[in-house]
Amino acid sequence: MSRMSNSRYLLSVDVGSTHIHAVIAELDHSQNFKVMGIGSGVTQGLENGEITVPKALCAALDRAIKRAERDSGIRPSQLLISIPPAQTQFGISYGLMMPKKSIITAEDRITCIQKSKAAIMTHEQVIQHVIPVEYKVNGQQVASPDGLAQGPLEVSTFAVLMKAKQASSLLDVTGTLGLEVKGLIYGPMGLSHFCLSDQERRQGALVIEIGAGFSSVTLFKNGAMISSHCIPIAGNRITQDLMTCLSIDDAEAERLKVMFGCSNPDELEPNETHVMTTVDRGRVDVKRLYLARIIEARVIELFQLLSKKAGIGPDFPYSIVIMGGTSAMRGIAQTAERVLGHPVRIGPHPNGPIDPSLWGYPTALGLIQLGIQTGVIEAPASDGWMTRIRRMIQRDWF
């Protein structure tokens, strides 16, 4: 069965530190989509979020994608793919221009944003996204400059950059699989379209994602991402702590974390015990409370670091949403609220744009929603797709 070039079908892939998640969706003429198939697999060929063995990553992607293809009976050729967070850097840039006409046009606004891009791009990096944060005309802040009287136009933008070598490697890998990349997307941008309601994206919300290898904290306001930070502390670090403290191997530490892990010891029975297999003493009992104490220390450190990165203080005005595999651990909400000093929500908004029952594929699903809203994905009857990499890299995601 050959890959279909019909624009009705789209493949969305989230490349995580430990797992790859693939979704095949069918688009309709109203820019809605229906999930046709899903598939996942173990990530290989990545080390600390960077592509180290392209052939291994290619094979891992192929396995996850083929499972989605078998589930759906469809082989789409068009792909949206998330970029591992370790490959990203962030920056604030500025553009300035004097429009030539008496009224500022949309073309002037886009030109000003392009100028801000030129100020931040280097030979070693490519820009994945550039998001306008603030416009000024004649030194006065405005919501949008379009249609205003001529004057000096300024824009400040938040840029997400990726290592050019890594971007090239990822495109080579997907090209080997016969896939046409329609967008390399920063994962938290896609995730926000799964877990936030439209109102939250407008009023402001902070999304904390705790994955396996990395955690990110990303702020959205006025419908756009305005800041993001990533740190290499996440679920894998908890597993390592259990290995060290309990003298157990990786598989046993992961089992204990998933089955009995809790970051809030106060909600546990003090005498509850479970059997574990140690490296040097064989099978022994361990108190769940002791496991929780180990986990609590690392989770508190994680939320303290994320709070500092995001600038969360007593007067922090935005809602806080926690996502990622580690967010399912018992006690995470209570620990987060204790450290951050604000209420949090675990998981997607029940009135969000995507069915929250599809919990296991949040970023891959969010990529599709983001692609629709930004025009990267067009209705099946439309035409004019952007070229493979040049326009994809230079496209404005706003």
Q: What is the pLDDT of residues 256-306, one digit of tens each?
A: 999 999 999 999 999 999 999 999 999 999 999 999 999 999 999 999 999
Looking at per-residue pLDDT, the higher value among 143 and 7 belongs to: 143
d(CA 97, CA 132) in angstroms, rounded, equals 15
pLDDT score at 378 = 66
Among residues 233, 271, 273, the alpha carbon closest in space to that of 256 is found at 273
CATH 3.40.50.10540, applies to 87-161: no
Regarding predicted confidence, which is higher, 166 or 145?
145
Q: Where are the alpha helices (DSSP H) in the chain?
A: 54-72, 106-120, 164-176, 187-195, 198-203, 235-246, 250-260, 288-310, 332-340, 362-374, 390-394
Query: Is-same-fold flag (9-86+165-194+353-394; 87-161)?
Result: no
**What is the separation, in whole angstroms, between the first and last Cα of the chain?**
37
Residue 365, token pair as written in the block: 């699903």
pLDDT surpasses 60 at 11: yes
Any bridge partners for residue 136, and if so which? 141, 154
Pairing status of strand 273-278 against strand 282-287: antiparallel
Is 383's pLDDT higher than 60? Answer: no
Taking a C-beta distance cutoff of 8 angstroms, is the pair 346, 4 a contact? no
pLDDT-based confidence at residue 389 (cuts at 50, 70, 90): very low
CB atoms within 10 A of CB 308: 11
Among residues of the chain, what percentage have pLDDT more than 70?
Answer: 91
Which range among 1-10, 57-66, 180-189, 209-218 shows the weakest confidence by mean pLDDT? Answer: 1-10
Contact 58, 13 (CB under 8 A): no
**CATH 3.30.420.40 applies to domain 197-347:** yes
* pLDDT at residue 49 tops 50: yes
Pairing of strands 78-83, 180-186: parallel
Could you tell me the residue ranges of all domains in the chain? Answer: 9-86+165-194+353-394, 87-161, 197-347
- List Cβ neighbours of 285 (8 Å cut-off, separation of 6 or more): 273, 274, 275, 276
Q: Which fold has domain 9-86+165-194+353-394?
A: Nucleotidyltransferase; domain 5 (3.30.420)
Q: Specify the pLDDT at position 5.
A: 52
pLDDT at 352 exceeding the cut of 90: no
Answer yes or no: is pLDDT of 398 > 80.
no
Give residue 220's pLDDT: 95
What is the identity of the amino acid at 300? I
Look up residue 229 and give its two tokens.
Answer: 């930070």
pLDDT for the residue numbered 56: 96
Q: Is the pLDDT confidence value at 182 over 60?
A: yes
What's the Rg (C-alpha) of the chain? 22
Residue 396 has pLDDT above 50, yes or no: no
- Structural element, H or E, at residue 376: none
Amino acid at 158: F
Judge whether 43 and 86 are in contact, CB under 8 Å. Answer: no
Give 40's Cβ-side CA count (13 Å radius): 13
Residue type for 356, please? P
Structure confidence at residue 353 (pLDDT) = 65
Is residue 394 predicted with pLDDT exceeding 60? Answer: no
Q: Give CA–CA dist 262/290, Å, rounded.
A: 10
pLDDT above 80 for 188 = yes
Q: Which two tokens stand for residue 151?
A: 């004057």
Give the pLDDT confidence score for residue 380 in this predicted structure: 62
- In this prediction, residue 29 carries a pLDDT of 78
pLDDT band of 7, cuts 50, 70, 90: low
Average pLDDT, the chain: 88
Pairing of strands 153-163, 78-83: unpaired
Three-class DSSP labels, 324-338: CHHHHCECHHHHHHH
Say how far apart CA 79 and CA 84 lie, in whole Å: 16
